[in-house]
Chain A
Amino acid sequence: MEFTLISLLNGVTYGLLLFMLCGGLTLIFSMMGILNFAHASFYMLGAYLAFQLSAWLGFWPAFFLAPPLVGVAGALVERYGLRRAHRHGHVAELLFTFGLSFLAVEMVQLVWGKAVVDYRVPPSLEGTLFTLYSTSFPVYKGFMMLVSVGMLALLAALLAYTRTGLIIKAALSRPDMMQALGHDVPRIFTLVFAGGAALAGLAGVIGGNAFVTEPGMAAAVGPIVFVVVVVGGLGSLLGAFVASLLIGILQTFMVGWDYSIIDVARLFGMQLHSTSALTRLSLTQLAPIMPYLLMVAILIFRPRGLMGARS
């Protein structure tokens, strides 16, 4: 029971963090029609900027400054990079985002080195929030959850209830018409791109110290971000949200479960012999590949994703 509750909380925290990364990517996909391979780089940039600014100014100024700075970087990338590449078609755009993701890693190594940097949870957020029986839930996890939920609620409200949100939604579905109605669609797209980048940056700010901040961190989350976007359905925000939570929770539970394939098979009334290495695999060992299994299954059985409109 306690394991279930704590795992659920951990899973939701992880899932929400994933969604901060994937929400922007999904919006940007609906806008440009391509997946931005450099999206996870903004996550990394957020973590590194937060590390640097923390060292100079302390955690809180870093927390508030880093995401908008990443947003500005996103706006510059869109305005002076992608928009130019766009004139040469989708392939050029894709290659551009690929190149950018490599460039980001190299730049980070150049400035901060190849090793893990010492970006830590601030003392004010250390400690235990509560203890259930014998399992403790750290304050920082609670903080991560609060920030993600707050940010996402704010964004959902912005999209649903403001004129800006209305304009963004309409521009995603019919950019040409919005343009003819007098809306500066390219500027709106830059704004959306910057917002998506800032959101990924924020995920880096609050995730970089909970996990690790190192040059490989973008490459580590990159694949999982794509899985979420594909499983959720390309271009569907709600789908990405559901998929983020699903993957976050499933993975957290699998890491904690100490069952082997034999045990699972027994549950279904099958007797397997523990002779082969395969059957001795535990669910914990399978956890890292679960997202990919899920993606392959979705691509086979429901290619448009959980909630996607197109396949």
Chain B
Amino acid sequence: MLEVNGLHAFYGKSHVLHGVTLEVGRGEIVSLLGRNGAGRSTALKAIMGLARAEGSVKFKGEEIAGMKPHQIAWRGLGYVPEDRAVFPDLTVRQNLLLGVKDPKAPGRFRLEEMFALFPRLEERALVPGGVLSGGEQQMLTLCRTMMGNPDLVLVDEPTEGLAPLTVAQVAQFLLEIQKRGVSILLVEQKLAIALDISQRLYVLGHGRVVFGGTPAALRENAAVRKEWLEV
């Protein structure tokens, strides 16, 4: 579904990704792990066309490297950024509606279904997005991206800074959208969750892929965990 080949990314003169190669199959949850600053967020931004990049990114067989972010979004790729990027002055409802790309073609995920999954969002539908709690904002961004009916979503650290109960809710949500046929490329700091919900994982170190394999393989590979993940 998504094939990334030899991806390099740059911020000005600094070279952050050095030839990343990875793959996400249809219906898979794939996690991208690594220490702070390893380049995980940059990888997602480069795929989405939001960072200057070189290399090949194929989505559903089509080369999307070099396209504008909105063109990439229209091809069915969704992005949930690390900073959540809620529109603070717009209401929760308006935030959600902005996720809809084409109002004439309703997708798999309607407003009502989002509200059913997260009743909290329905209660706060008319409240400005900026006053929501961190957890609520995370739900909001996830749902907003789903409103655009993506086939694959890039999700950047959705559980960062959340209470354990909310973390479980977010994990549950990711499994739910997977059940509905959406593939996920997940950047996750919490190893336990990543091992739990992913079919495969990659570990990034200094802008390179240093491990790729199943959760079982990573559990057994203490060397990789020690060298590239533990702090």
Please report A residues at the B interface, Cβ cutoff 8 Å: 163, 166-167, 169-170, 173-174, 176-186
Contacts and interface: CB of A to CB of B under 8 A. Distances in A.
Contact of A173 (B74, B87, B94): B87
A170 B90 contact: yes
B68 interface: yes
A213 B98 CA distance: 43
Contacts of A174: 85, 87
Nearest to A187: B70
A163 B103 contact: yes
Given A177-B85, A182-B73, A170 B48 contact: no
Interface of B: 48, 50, 68-70, 73-74, 79, 81, 85, 87-90, 94, 97-99, 101, 103, 144-145, 148
27 contacts: A163-B97, A163-B103, A166-B90, A166-B94, A166-B98, A169-B89, A169-B90, A170-B98, A176-B69, A176-B85, A177-B81, A179-B50, A179-B69, A179-B70, A180-B48, A180-B73, A181-B70, A181-B73, A181-B98, A181-B101, A181-B145, A182-B70, A182-B73, A182-B101, A183-B98, A184-B68, A184-B70
A118 to B, nearest CB: 47
Determine chain A's interface SS by DSSP, over half rule: helix
A179 B68 contact: yes
Contact of B79 (A169, A180, A185): A180
A179 B71 CA distance: 9
A180 B89 contact: no
Contacts of B94: 166
Contact of B88 (A163, A166, A173, A185): A173
Given A179-B50, A180-B73, A185-B70, 6 more contacts: A163-B97, A166-B97, A167-B98, A181-B101, A183-B98, A184-B68
Contacts of A176: 50, 69, 85
